[in-house]
């Protein structure tokens, strides 16, 4: 049995994992789904890390799964507790000293997203629509319930401080890229992951939020990683 620690992205909480966590528990694993203090203006990445570490407690056999912005938090957790595997899902990959707020310009994300919108026939100057950007491949019958949960306010505080690690943690790391991601387009992510982690990402068909759109496949991928490392 492993302990899966599922860390949500910006402006999200444990409800993001509502379809994934039951599948992992049904497979016999312990699952931890911490709610980060994303709407607390006094909380930065250090406080996010504290929340995750506190939620883990004395559990062992840890597999961290980091969605999107949690790519900044999960490596910090690895410095605090023994982690067997870290899986980055449609995630931001930081470099030492980089503030999350600088990541967008440093990686060229905005230009990449705009170019992908144009290539796909979407208006790059259209008003932001969370359904079009994040939920376009979620089963239509689930969208009302997902939207009813609502997004939490995301404080700007964690975007300002430099990422404190001098190097990427010495922990087995896998990156799962989502080919239909409209926030972090696939070709953009391939480049960023190659340049910053020095690896070729694995890929699945999904938009930015695979835990909502394709939970069974996401769990299958996570379990494949676990078994591949003999965990």
SS3 136: coil
Which neighbouring-strand residues pair with 88?
66, 175
pTM of the model: 0.96
The mean pLDDT of the chain is 96
pLDDT of residue 150: 63
The CA-CA-CA angle for residues 130, 133, 139, to 5°, reads: 85
Read off the pLDDT of each residue in 164-169 and give the average, rounded to a whole number.
Answer: 96
Query: What distances in angstroms separate CA 91 from CA 1, 141, 197, 225, one per listed residue?
Result: 26, 26, 12, 17
Per-residue pLDDT for 103 more than 90? yes
Domains of the chain (ranges, CATH numbers):
3-228 (3.40.50.1820)
Q: Which helix (H) or strand (E) holds 46?
A: helix 45-56
Would you report the helix, strand and coil content of the chain in percent, each value rounded to 5? 45, 15, 45
């Amino acid at each position: 049995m492993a302990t899966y620690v599922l860390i949500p992205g910006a402006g999200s909480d444990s409800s993001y994992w509502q379809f994934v966590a039951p599948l992992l528990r049904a497979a016999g694993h312990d699952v931890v789904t911490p709610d980060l203090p994303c709407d607390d203006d006094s909380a930065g990445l250090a406080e996010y890390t504290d929340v995750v570490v506190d939620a883990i407690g004395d559990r062992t056999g840890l597999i961290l799964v980091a969605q999107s912005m949690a790519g900044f938090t999960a490596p910090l957790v690895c410095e605090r507790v023994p982690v067997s595997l870290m899986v980055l899902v449609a995630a931001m990959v930081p470099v030492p000293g980089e503030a999350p707020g600088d990541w967008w310009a440093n990686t060229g994300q905005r230009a990449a997203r705009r170019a992908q919108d144009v290539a796909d026939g979407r208006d790059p100057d259209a008003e932001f629509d969370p359904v079009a950007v994040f939920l376009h491949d979620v089963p239509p019958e689930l969208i009302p319930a997902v939207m009813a949960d609502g997004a939490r306010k995301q404080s700007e505080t964690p975007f300002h401080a430099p990422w404190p690690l001098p190097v990427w943690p010495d922990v087995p790391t896998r990156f799962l890229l989502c080919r239909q991601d409209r926030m972090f387009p696939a070709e953009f992510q391939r480049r960023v992951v190659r340049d910053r982690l020095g690896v070729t990402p694995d890929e699945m068909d999904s938009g930015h939020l695979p835990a909502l759109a394709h939970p069974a496949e996401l769990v299958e991928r996570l379990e494949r990683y676990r078994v591949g490392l003999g965990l």
